[in-house]
Amino acid sequence: MFIIDFNKLRFLVCDDNAHMRRILRTLLHSFGAREVYEAEDGATALEMYSHYVPDIVITDWSMPIFDGLELAQMIRQPEGAGNPYAPIIMLTGHSEKRRVMVARDAGVTEFLAKPISAKGLYQRILNVVANPRPFIKTKNYFGPDRRRNTNAAYIGLERRSGGNAEIMQQPSLLEKARSGN
């Protein structure tokens, strides 16, 4: 077992609700984070993302100017400014399977339904730091491997088919965030 030193990670929190931003900031500070940047809409978040280059993005789905889904798609542009590999944790009050799949297909790394809990947020952060998924680049998609289990013998309906897929290992946050203890 290892301990994550949250002090070594930079976070960008994007939510149009000031109260939710304050809750997230308070939770992240309680975990030990020091660098937590906040944006109230997708446009401001993208600007801050390019400027601060956060390690992890936590965004609400529904926001003005452009939403969290559009933000994720812009971050995932390989030729864009910033780090297209940064883990994105999507927050929403709507957790229907269809929405989870749309977020996944936009390049979202983790999904967290509101109301959030400290434990749920911590688990998502721990997962993106300790278990980074490889990134897939195809003609139509760039982002974390959408499959949680990568069984080569799988032959079901969800099997990736056709086209060439380039598989890239995501730069790991584990070494950066590992505590010296």
Chain segment 93-111, per-residue pLDDT in tens: 888 889 888 999 999 999 9
> Does the pLDDT at position 151 exceed 90?
no
pTM of the full structure: 0.86
Pairing of strands 142-144, 135-137: antiparallel
Cα-Cα-Cα-Cα dihedral sign, residues 28, 143, 75, 175 = positive
Q: What is the mean pLDDT of the chain?
A: 85
The answer to which of 57-61, 105-109, 162-166, 175-179 has the lowest mean pLDDT is 162-166
pLDDT at 157: 54
Bridge partners of 168?
Answer: 135
* Contact residues for 133 (Cβ-Cβ < 8 A; gap 6+): 109, 144, 145, 170
The sign of the CA dihedral 96, 100, 103, 105 is: negative
